[in-house]
Amino acid sequence: MASRFVLNETSYFGAGSREVLLDEIKRRGFKKAFIVGDKDLVKFGVVKMVTDKLGSFPYDLFTDFKANPTVTNVKNGVEAYKKSGADFIIAIGGGSAIDTSKGIGIVVNNPEFADVVSLEGVAPTKNKCVPIIALPTTAGTAAEVTINYVIIDEKTGRKMVCVDTNDIPVLAIIDAELMASMPKGLTAATGMDALTHAIEGYITRAAWELSDMFEIKAIEIIAKNLRTATFDGKNMEARENMALAQYVAGMAFSNVGLGCVHSMAHPLGARFDIAHGVANALLLPTVMEFNMPVCIKKYGDIAKAMGVDTKGMSDKEAAKAAVDAVKQLSIDLGIPQTLREINIPKDSLELLSEDAFNDVCTGGNPRDITQKDILELYKKLY
């Protein structure tokens, strides 16, 4: 069986690397930008840190989308893009901005998918999306290098996971200076999102040698830097390392998929607007415990990457140490540890388990899982 690995064309790394933006735009012959930027990032001057590098180059700014973007946000963005006369998109923000940009870019160049809902899963789009230049402002989603995006269908209240090689940005600029304004809570949540990507990508059914190489390195970098980045936000070395780690994790999970942490996190975001990183961080240790019987050896690798000295431990002890190290990191960062803490109604668990079981990520979970199993995991976390 062939194993496919898809990456974006070009990426730049390092504090201040947004300096290359205008040269790259000119080199590609673009004429006008459609900037998709988060309202808060406009308010706090982060978008300006990018637009200042454009000089007199023309652009329109689109900010009409939510932290968990919706079908309506994408449709409105498509109309705004068409009216703007732009020929490419600059996405400035976390996963919400980049995912919105992907949805817009795909629909503009594949109008037969204008209802957006038809993009769920692996959509048979024919054309590359509008060229996207992505400048992430969080160190978590790695949306700038993945072939995935997530959009909420308001009618069903579900998060749609869309997988499409045609949506990958043509250029990513991973500039840690754009991440320096992230508050402690957001740094922690997005960092745990990156760790979840790396761990689930390492143990997913489709994982193989090439993806393993990326994921285990990402875990190692995150374990060494996330606490510092969270509690000493001005430490640019830690910021840059987290920016790199989330990108490295993204290169791999984009190609091999994820698991039940993500399938359980998605309905929490869709139905209760819980931040994706918080949901992942809360769920991760418990789902790891469930998967442990089929991941013993790989959990030992994870323990070592997390900085645990596993000498003298049995395989089972090392596996448990991996789960404990992940849970301790989550606690140290101040992540909520129960669904009650994030105000999830207990009577919603059945519906959440149904949504999670039907999520596209469930198929990648390394251990077979039923809807009843998922419900029991939610109950255990309540």
State whether 173 and 302 are in the same domain: no
**Do 42 and 170 lie in a common domain?**
yes
Does residue 70 sit in helix, strand or coil?
Answer: strand
Same domain for 318 and 189 = yes
Question: Is the overall model pTM greater than 0.85, yes or no?
Answer: yes
Q: Are residues 253 and 318 in the same domain?
A: yes
Give the residue ranges of DSSP H helices in the chain. 21-28, 39-43, 46-51, 71-84, 95-109, 184-203, 209-231, 236-256, 260-272, 276-291, 296-305, 315-332, 349-357, 371-381
Residue 11 parent element (H or E):
strand 10-13
**Do residues 88 and 212 share a domain?**
no
Q: Count CB atoms within 10 A of the CB of residue 297.
A: 10
Is residue 58 in a domain? yes
Q: Tell me, yes or no, whether 256 and 135 share the same domain.
A: no
**Where is the domain boundary, 111, 145, 179?**
179
Q: Using one digit for the tens of pLDDT, what is the confidence trace for 88-136?
A: 999 999 999 999 999 999 999 999 999 999 999 999 999 999 999 999 9
User: Do 161 and 20 have their domain in common?
Assistant: yes
Of the residues 179, 200, 226, which one is the last residue of a structural domain? 179
The token pair that represents 317 in the structure block: 């002890």
Please tell me the predicted confidence (pLDDT) of residue 213. Answer: 97
Q: Are residues 171 and 214 in the same domain?
A: no
SS3 174: strand
Q: What pLDDT was estimated at residue 2?
A: 82
Domain assignment of residue 165, given as a range: 10-179
Question: Token digits for 25?
Answer: 């735009």
4 within a domain of the structure (yes/no):
no
Angle at 134 between CA 131 and CA 136, to 5 degrees: 165
Residue 78 near residue 109, CB atoms below 8 Å: no
Can you give the length of the chain in residues?
A: 382
Q: If you ran DSSP here, which 8-state letter would residue 341 be given?
A: G
2 part of a folded domain: no
Q: At what angle do helices 296-305 and 209-231 cross, to 10 degrees?
A: 40
Per-residue pLDDT tens digits for 145-155: 999 999 999 99
Say if residue 45 is in the same domain as residue 125: yes
The answer on 346 and 275 residing in a single domain is: yes
Residue 122 included in any domain: yes
Question: At 111, which CATH number?
Answer: 3.40.50.1970
Nearest to 337 by CA among 380, 296, 381, 298: 381
Count of domains for the chain: 2
Angle, CA of 201, 300 and 219, to the nearest 5°: 45
CATH number for 359: 1.20.1090.10
Say if residue 306 is in the same domain as residue 369.
yes
Residue 133: inside a domain, yes or no?
yes
Per-residue model confidence (pLDDT) at position 52: 97
> Tens digit of pLDDT for each residue in 285-332?
999 999 999 999 999 999 999 999 999 999 999 999 999 999 999 999
DSSP 177-241: GGGTT--HHHHHHHHHHHHHHHHHHHHSTT--HHHHHHHHHHHHHHHHHHHHHHH-TT-HHHHHH
Judge if 153 and 197 occupy the same domain. no
Specify the amino acid at residue 120: E
**Phi and psi, residue 339, nearest 5°:** -65, -30
What is the C-alpha to C-alpha distance for residues 327 and 281, in angstroms, rounded to an integer? Answer: 8
